[in-house]
Amino acid sequence: MIRGWFKWLFYALRRHQALNAKPNMAHFALAELARQKGEEGFQCLSQNVDGTPPTLLSPPHTNPLGLSQRASHPPSQLKLLHSTLFNLKCFNDSCTYLDIDNFTDPLCPALTITPENIETRLAPAAKSMHNHLDPRRPKAIPEDELPHCPSCETGLLRPGVVWFGEALPSETIEGIDEWIEAGESVDLILVIGTTATVWPASSYVEIARRFGAKVAVVNMDDGELGSASDLREGDFWFQGDAAVLVPQMLEPVVGDLKQFKELAA
């Protein structure tokens, strides 16, 4: 197991980057597609972890939101398969503590992200991860300086994201299954910017095929595409930047989106 301090350095950087990022034109295009097609016509299944699950939003919501939500994606049409960086829970599985929508940056002084500590801490650590398994190696950040659970007071907090080997949020999966089964067919599944190799998220390509869907893949390269690699007659493959290609693909449906260009990354 990688030490808690290294995990927190990694996720502190991801939280910092997500809070300072802007939606790109693909986010705006998919949000507009959702509005035009309606809840019965389109659902976005996202593997991104920069947002807040719609079921946890409580209006009025004044905190920062994820990239899709900042692009005004309708909440009922956005399913976050891997949950979010901005929920915190306890490492102790028997503890039920949950801190929802914690956008504090940094979470504690030891996790302050600056260009200097990215260079001095994260980069060297990433190059020698095997050394972190050596119990004789001093910790880069003392454990008592990391976020601790205020409820059980026995362990560290962790981001609420789904890690390998953990189950996806049951409410999210049930909602997706109900949406698929409610319709007689699925016309198209867009596979955007993913290798489609992480199960069970990757399984939705084949599930959509069983309901009659064609597959359209948008990716920067033609390497590993997992469950989306078996392209057939009538499927589509677009190689390039999703921020450029997705708005072009969807323009006949969503328009030119020029009103969003100044807001996009």
Which of these, 92, 87, 48, 25, lies nearest to 251 by C-alpha position? 25
What's the CA gap between 227 and 207, in Å, rounded?
11
Burial status of residue 174 (CB atoms within 10 A of its CB: 0-12, 13-18, 19 or more)? exposed
| Contact of 78 with 51, CB cutoff 8 Å | yes
Nearest to residue 163, comparing CAs of 82, 99, 46, 87? 82
User: Which residues lie across from 192 on neighbouring strands?
Assistant: 218
- To the query of whether residue 82 is one of the catalytic residues in this protein, the response is yes
**Catalytic residue among 27, 82, 130, 132, which?**
82
How many CB atoms are located within 10 Å of the residue 45 CB? Answer: 16
Tell me the residue ranges of DSSP E strands in the chain. Answer: 44-46, 78-80, 88-90, 98-99, 157-159, 188-192, 214-219, 236-239
Cα–Cα distance measured from residue 20 to residue 18, given in angstroms and rounded to the nearest whole number? 5
What residues act catalytically? 82
